[in-house]
Amino acid sequence: MDVEQKREQSLETNEESLRELWDNVKHTNIRIIGVPEGEEREKGTEKILEELIAENFPNMGKEPLTQIWEVQQVPYKINPRRNTPGHILIKLTKMKDKEKILKAAKEKEQITYKGTPIKLSADFSAETLQARREWHDTLK
């Protein structure tokens, strides 16, 4: 193996380690996609999650979730001509709460917020999402 091949292999290993590290950091995150712009400013993002759970998973609302560690709106390009839905990132303190919410969302299929369809997904690094897309395309 020459120097260039070793360097390339080392780079691939480092990129894989970085991707795994990012996914580990994000392992309790849920991404909410499609909340109308401005809602989070009016109510606050934590209130949106509470309303979302009450509207879509009434049985889950009776079981208290553990603490929400952090909530933030993800920046993206805004088109001034249309009301672009935003992404909200919720970092929960426990993995089991994330799994419980995502499992309930998958079972319900159509999730709404005030009648507007939205998506809930696990938050992964861009590299992991790309790798999953490639595997999904391969398995079709």
28-126 domain in CATH 3.30.70.1820?
Answer: yes
Q: What is the pLDDT of residue 74?
A: 60
Q: What is the pLDDT of residue 73?
A: 59
pLDDT of 63 > 70? The answer is no
pLDDT of 109 > 60? The answer is yes
Nearest to 29 by CA among 123, 104, 110, 121: 123
* Residues 105/111, Cβ–Cβ less than 8 Å: yes
Q: What is the pLDDT of residues 32-52, one digit of tens each?
A: 888 877 776 677 777 777 888
Overall average pLDDT of the 132-140 stretch: 74
Residue linked to tokens 């920046």: 75
